[in-house]
Amino acid sequence: MATVTLQVKGMSCGHCVRAVENALKEAGASGKVELAGGKVTVEYEEGKVSLETLKAAIEEQGYDVVG
């Protein structure tokens, strides 16, 4: 299991938290959003899903992954 913390811009409310966490879940990972810091901690299995796929899942929700 790999863990990475991503900096995500554009999240501002509970809807944003649910959108990001659900998108990650659908992509095969689990995510925990820290709204105040604009961070998302993601846990995923490297052999099953790529980090690029997870970033794309967040960006498809309308948020910018910056790091």
User: Containing domain of residue 60, as a range?
Assistant: 2-65
The whole-angstrom separation of Cα 13 and Cα 1 is: 28
pLDDT in tens, 8-54: 999 999 999 999 999 999 999 999 999 999 999 999 999 999 999 99
Task: Work out how many domains the chain is built from and give that number.
Answer: 1
Please say if the pLDDT value at position 67 is more than 90: no
Q: 54: closest CA among 16, 19, 26?
A: 26
pLDDT in tens, 52-61: 999 999 999 9
**CB-count exposure of residue 35 (10 Å: 0-12, 13-18, 19+):** middle
- Tell me what pLDDT residue 35 has: 95
- Residue 51's SS3 state is helix
Taking CA 6 as the corner, what is the angle to CA 27 and CA 18, rounded to the nearest 5 degrees?
50
CATH of the domain at 29: 3.30.70.100
